[in-house]
């Protein structure tokens, strides 16, 4: 297993590609722009039929590699991978079938330095195209308009502005997206299919790791030398923004450290 390391001076926006109002600085590491999907989006009816067919063909517990292969065969050039950079297992699984695949990272402006370091390491060492998806407003602009620490007063609105809406825009050019959602992570995720229809984004949603346990995830990382966020080894099995994530005690729900003190359990991108 290869934990990523990061200097304390890591700052948002250092890898190349970005989706949002800000452009990467000249000379930044990684690609400077994200190539648009090579095929136009097919009609919604056709995409929905593909989702239904994929669910039938793959069933409930097909191997992740088989799910990745199905995704790449059916969505050549129109598949995106979403990654929170808790680890790079999902990008690794998909990139074995689709080298250079777009990996979307929601750069909220509130991430742990370790998370940004993991992103940078993935961009530098893996055969993927890491794309920073940034909100319409910087943290400073949002605070000027809505006041400081919106995350502490209204985390749902903060997540909507800094995660949900930017992702909605970023996914517009794709036909399908792959996520690292796993069924064991939370009660809200126990019914996660391998392939389903994303009604919100009107596209196919693919969850190759859905049947995996945390132990299986970490075993894969160890076997293949896949990057893992150092915070995972420091009591953070589920990693979000630094402002809204705490360590989890042994035996606690892996996602209990997210939005602690609030009834909120999801940021909204998987609802």
Select from 219, 251, 259 the least CA-distant residue to 235. 251
* Maximal C-alpha separation, the chain: 51
Select from 104, 86, 93, 84 the least CA-distant residue to 34. 104
Query: DSSP 3-state assignment of 157?
Result: helix
Select from 81, 185, 58, 70 the least CA-distant residue to 131. 81
80 contacts 106 by C-beta, under 8 angstroms:
no
Residues contacting residue 38 through CB under 8 Å, at least 6 positions apart: 76, 77, 78
267 is catalytic: yes
Cα 117 to chain center, whole Å? 15
Q: Long-range contacts made by residues 235-241, C-beta under 8 angstroms, separation at least 24?
A: 236/86, 238/86, 238/185, 239/84, 239/85, 239/86, 239/112, 239/115, 240/84, 240/267, 241/108, 241/110, 241/111, 241/151, 241/162
Residues forming beta bridges with residue 198, ordered by sequence position? 203
The active-site residue, picked from 158, 241, 244, 267, is: 267
From CA 265, how far away is CA 91, in angstroms rounded? 24
Residues marked active site are found at 267
């Amino acid at each position: 297993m290869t934990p990523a390391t990061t200097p304390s001076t890591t700052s948002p926006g250092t890898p190349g590609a970005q989706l949002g109002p800000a452009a990467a600085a000249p000379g930044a590491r990684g690609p400077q722009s994200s190539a648009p999907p090579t095929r136009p989006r097919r009609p919604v009816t056709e995409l929905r039929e593909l989702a239904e067919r994929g669910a039938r063909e793959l069933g409930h517990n097909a191997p992740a590699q088989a799910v990745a292969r199905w995704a790449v065969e059916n969505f050549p050039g129109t598949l995106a991978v979403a990654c929170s950079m808790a680890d790079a297992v999902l990008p690794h699984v998909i990139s074995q079938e689709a080298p250079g695949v777009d990996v979307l990272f929601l750069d909220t402006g509130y991430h742990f330095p370790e998370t940004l370091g993991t992103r940078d390491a993935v961009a530098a060492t893996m055969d993927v195209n890491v794309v920073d998806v940034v909100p319409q407003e910087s943290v400073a602009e949002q605070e000027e308009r809505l006041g400081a620490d919106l995350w502490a007063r209204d985390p749902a609105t903060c997540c909507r502005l800094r995660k949900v809406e930017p992702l909605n825009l970023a996914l517009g050019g794709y036909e399908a997206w792959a996520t690292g959602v796993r069924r064991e992570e939370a009660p809200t995720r126990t019914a996660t299919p391998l392939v389903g229809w994303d009604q919100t984004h009107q596209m196919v949603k693919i969850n190759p790791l859905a049947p995996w346990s945390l132990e299986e995830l970490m075993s894969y990382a160890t076997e293949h030398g896949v990057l893992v966020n150092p915070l995972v080894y420091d009591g953070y099995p589920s990693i979000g923004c630094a402002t809204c994530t705490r360590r989890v005690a042994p035996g606690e729900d892996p996602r209990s450290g997210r939005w602690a003190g609030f009834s909120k359990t999801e940021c909204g991108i998987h609802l």
